[in-house]
């Protein structure tokens, strides 16, 4: 499954019955709760990174990516919006690199 597929599934849960899915339940609690969960998962990932626990960090990073996308969906920001922002930064850094070389 790609991040795009997971994001599409999360988007679909915005209109799903909260009883049918954990994601739908979380989204139904509102953007503030989604942001709070993202923060909790980010802290758990930080703890694993500081400990140097690779398996723990891998698992927590998956939680962070999932909860980041739930938070974005809750505020009507798409994964495509975020990827476009990253691409524009990459293009900018390419321009800066070329300027530095010339």
Kindly list the residues in this chain that would bind ligand PRT in the complex (CB under 6 A). Answer: 6, 9, 13, 21-23, 63, 66
d(CA 31, CA 73): 9
Three-state DSSP class for residue 2: coil
Nearer to ligand PRT, 55 or 99 (CB): 55
Nearer residue to ligand PRT within complex by CB, 20 or 93: 20
Candidates 46, 83, 73; CA nearest to 61 is: 46
State the minimum distance, in angstroms, from the CB of residue 77 to ligand PRT: 17
Q: Which residue is nearest to ligand PRT (CB)?
A: 21
Please, what is the minimum distance in Å from the beta carbon of residue 76 to ligand PRT? 18
d(CA 21, CA 53): 30
């Amino acid at each position: 499954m790609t991040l795009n597929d997971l994001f599409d599934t999360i988007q679909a849960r915005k209109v799903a019955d909260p009883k049918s899915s954990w994601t739908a339940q979380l989204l139904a609690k509102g953007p503030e709760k989604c942001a709070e969960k993202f923060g909790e998962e980010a802290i758990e990932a930080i703890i694993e990174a500081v400990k140097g626990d690779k398996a723990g960090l891998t698992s927590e990073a998956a939680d962070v990516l999932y909860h980041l996308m739930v938070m974005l969906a809750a505020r009507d920001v798409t994964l495509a919006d975020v990827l476009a922002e990253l691409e524009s930064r990459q293009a900018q850094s390419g321009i800066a690199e070329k300027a530095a070389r010339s």
